[in-house]
Structure 1
Amino acid sequence: MSIGLVNDLVVLDMSQGVAGPLSAKLLADQGAQVIKIEPPEGDYARRRGPFPHNIPHPEKSLTFAYFNTGKKGITLNIRTPQGANLLKELARRADILIEDLRPGELDALGVGYPALEEINPRLILVSVTPFGQYGPYKDFAVEDITLQAISGFLYLSGDADKPPVQVALEQAQIMGGRCAAIATMLAVMERWETGRGQHVDVSIAEAVASQPPMHIVQYAYLGVVATRGPRSPNPTDGDYLPCKDGYICITTGGGNPWEKFADFFQAPELRDPRFATREGRAQHGAEIQAILVDRLRERGKYEVFHTGMRERFVLGVVQTPEEVLACPHLNERGAFQEVAHPALGTLRYPRSGFRLDGQPAGEIRPAPLLGQHNEEVYCGWLGYPREALARWKATGII
């Protein structure tokens, strides 16, 4: 059994892709028993890359492997009468069901919240959809870029004189998944008081709209429309500059006087009175950048980072994925764990990103193979004979 704060929760994850599966994964990280319910053909994330050596394989999607760690996996076609009945049996024994079908689809299949509530009044149904269960856009299809666009997130990304730029790696879906996990635990807390479940309606677009820093509040309060960029002309206002082996971010945080920058970078030219103020540094940013680039070209980024941070400069070493995995600070904190997957082999996975006093870090279990736990769940948990599995398999129910 996993070690965690929510060991007593049984979660059915019927969602696909990123947002819903991430919310279930976050619960699994804290010890919840999560059963991934996939259609017989599998979660569509299994057909999305990246794949090792760029060779597609349903058991080797890194997207699926990451967003489904810690879960058991079964297959079930809920669009068949027998499949819908099996879902009800599972829901009767569960605390939480996470789904991402289009609004109204569960009801059309006879397994909407009213039907499930009648079976299990304590069940929390979490619907994670692009626009929520109601509203004029509720039936619209999306991609991550369209969610970023409609939420205002895209408008703030990129340079002012160029078109907006999408933030990579399905950030809208990730924001929606984290929002769903928080909402789910709030519903669990309310159930402690009331003894009853509820239907949690998560709109990914709303989750994303709450994320960009202050742009909605700024407009509501001041009527000011936040814009993209431009980057500060002052390279010490958070710019990144090349060293001999990569990049370092430079800021004027930390409280050091400007004169100390001249000493640290061994650049007496920086004592020029024109650079003494922030306004002056912005006005003559190109000259400052040329000086810094000249001094940094022979220095290693880690030497600059460690030396500078000890002297109360606020610097950021730009690390590649390989360097992040080797980072001594993250490794001392146990930020990563090696996980052996039967198809992918042993990979290092990030942990949850926080520590709870008195709670040991639980072991990350690999994502399930397609239908890996059918026998354990249907026979061991629900009590059906093995012959039923063979019959259901032959008729497309599992």
Structure 2
Amino acid sequence: MGKRLLEDLLVIDCASFIAGPAAATIMSDFGARVIKIEPPVIGDSYRQLMKVPGMPTAEQDYFWTLDNRNKESLALDLKHPDARAVLETLIAKADVFITNFPGPIRDRLKLRAEDVMPLNERIIYASLTPYGEDGPEKDRTGYDATAWWARSGLMDAVRATPETEPGFSVPGMGDHPTATALFGAIMTALYRRERTGKGSAVSTSLLSNGLWSNGIWMQAVLCDADFSIRLQRGQRGALTELYKCRCGRWFMLAILNYQREWPLLTDILGKAEWRDDPRFATHEARRANSAALVALLEDAIALRDWSEWKPLFQQAGITFGPIAQPTDHLDCPQVAANGFLPEIENANGLRTVDSPIMIAGQQKRQPGMAPALGEHTRTVLADIGLSEAAIDAMIASGAAA
């Protein structure tokens, strides 16, 4: 097997929870060595997230398994002077340093860009914040639910009606696309380093990614669009609406090529006469009589299960999308064909979710299990030249674990 694309890179994951560490996970998928620094005893607080009320129960910590695969855990108390010396040695050897610690913590631990970058002129310092590097909220704490989902306007925009309560986001829903943005920033800086030999400080934030994800509506606001009307069911058009099958499964019609797909839909439904109905004969007529057409479509679609409708829509070439549930993907031929859920090495068939970036001719590594707290402390310390006695002393002092 050939060398993996990022195999020569050493990445220090000095971050917590999801968006920052997940950027390191993507790098690890392409072969980078990632050393995750965690506080002794408790480790990254992300290890505790599965205990939050409302999280699905499982024997495996799925949070940790997904976002920290392939990594080595180095348990260091960064407040201890001996641990600081180890960190600086690692920084001097590293290619990338990732952190999402709040500003005041970075100040106390001397982890700001101006502290880290003088130790290695080639290092890429990657910063993740909730609300951005500057401004009155630059040191505020936040998660993707607050900074990406709620603050960006996405939480409000997806409500079904003005009266519908705002809905909570899924854990990591904004963190993972933000991690992809941070990965892109890091790779851009590495490209610059190839050209100049110098490192860079790069950054992204949950809020900026939320605004980008909500970019169409934000651009509409910037263009003085009128948002005073929020459409009710059926007002978007009967051919771009949600429908429920007999079995209870919902799906979305997304028919925009009316001339081709409207006749196909009426044939599938066994309602060819609708094409000659003056209420539905033209696009303009269907728009004017949208509520009536929605009602007719609801009644027709409710006569069969999704397992019956899906192959008919597929064979006809109608644009649609099932409202999937996570379990749907376990045996999905499309997911399997693309390797989106690869097996974790030596994990008795346990699978994980692949990162969403593919490069032709570049094979990713088979995912490895996420590490136990401090699992690689001795290995990493030995790699940077500490003797066994020195490592024992660090552990005894509480500087490492």
Q: Offset at 1:353? A: 3.2
Q: Does 1:337 align with 2:338?
A: no
2:360 to 347, 357, 361: 357
2:174 aligned counterpart, secondary structure: helix
Q: How does 1:314-329 map to 2 (within 5 A)?
A: 314-329=319-334
Match 1:348 to one of 345, 348, 351: 351
Equivalent of 2:190 in 188, 191, 206: 188
Letter in 2 for 1:306: P
Shift of the 54–318 alpha-carbon distance from structure 1 to 2, 3 Å rule, reads: closer
Contact 1:302-1:317 at 8 Å conserved across structures: no
Query: What does 1:1-398 correspond to in 2, within 5 Å?
Result: 4-40=4-40, 41-49=42-50, 60-147=60-147, 148-162=149-163, 163-225=165-227, 229-233=231-235, 234-244=237-247, 246-254=249-257, 255-256=259-260, 258-268=262-272, 270-271=274-275, 272-340=277-345, 346-379=349-382, 381-398=383-400
Taking the aligned partners of 1:325 and 1:301, their CA distance within structure 2 comes to: 18
Q: Quick one: distance in 2 between partners of 1:247 and 1:188?
A: 44
**C-alpha distance in structure 1 between counterparts of 2:296 and 2:114, whole Å:** 68
Residues 213 and 70 (structure 1 numbering): CA distance in 2 closer, same or farther, change over 3 Å? same
> Structure 2: which amino acid aligns with 1:349?
T
How far the C-alpha of 1:229 sits from its partner, in A, is 4.6
Contact 1:50 1:61 in 2 (8 A): no
Q: Distance in 2 between matches of 1:293 and 1:215?
A: 29
The Cα shift of 1:249 comes to: 2.3
Shift in Å, 1:362: 2.4
CA displacement at 1:194 relative to structure 2: 1.3
Look up the equivalent residue of 1:369 and give its one-letter code.
A
> 1:156 & 1:65 partners in 2: Cα distance?
32
The structure-2 alpha-carbon separation of the partners of 1:243 and 1:3, relative to structure 1 and needing over 3 Å to count, comes to: farther
* Counterparts in 2 of 1:318 and 1:112: CA distance versus 1, 3 Å: closer
Q: How many residue pairs were aligned?
A: 393
Q: Distance in 1 between matches of 2:242 and 2:284?
A: 16
Identity %: 26
- Could you say what the CA RMSD is over the residues aligned between the two structures, in angstroms? 2.8
Deviates more, 1:290-299 or 1:128-137: 290-299
TM-score, with normalisation over the residues of structure 1? 0.88
Q: Distance in 2 between matches of 1:258 and 1:307?
A: 14
Paired AA for residue 139 in structure 1: D
Q: SS where residue 330 of structure 2 aligns?
A: helix
SS at match of 1:48: helix
Alignment-mate amino acid for residue 241 of structure 1? K
The aligned amino acid for 2:112 is G
Separation in 2 of the partners of 1:5 and 1:115?
29
CA 1:213–1:262 in structure 2 vs 1: closer, same or farther (change >3 Å)?
same
Q: CA deviation at 1:125?
A: 1.2
Structure 1 unaligned residues grouped into runs of 5+: none
Return the offset for 1:31: 1.4
Task: Measure, in 1, the Cα distance between the counterparts of 2:61 and 2:93.
Answer: 30
Cα distance, 1:340 vs. partner?
Answer: 5.0
Return the letter of the residue paired with 2:123.
L
Q: CA deviation at 1:326?
A: 0.8
Q: 1:207 is matched by which residue type in structure 2?
A: N
**Conservation of the 8 A alpha-carbon contact between 2:121 and 2:199:** yes
Shift in Å at residue 191 of structure 1?
0.9
In the alignment, is the contact (CA less than 8 A) between 2:102 and 2:141 conserved in 1?
Answer: no
Q: Partners of 1:202 and 1:196 in 2: how far apart? A: 20
SS of 2:34's equivalent? strand
**DSSP 3-state at the match of 2:103:** coil
DSSP 3-state at the match of 2:22: helix
- Which amino acid is 1:384 matched to? L
Q: Which moved more, 1:329-338 or 1:289-298?
A: 289-298
In the TM superposition, what is the alpha-carbon distance from 1:33 to its structure 2 partner?
1.0
Q: Cα distance, 1:328 vs. partner?
A: 0.8
Matched residue type, 1:44:
S
Distance 1:226 1:145 in 2: 25
What's the offset of the Cα at 1:195? 0.8
Which consecutive residues of structure 2, in runs of 5 or more, have no partner in the other structure?
none
Q: 1:320 to 1:217 in 2, by over 3 A?
A: closer
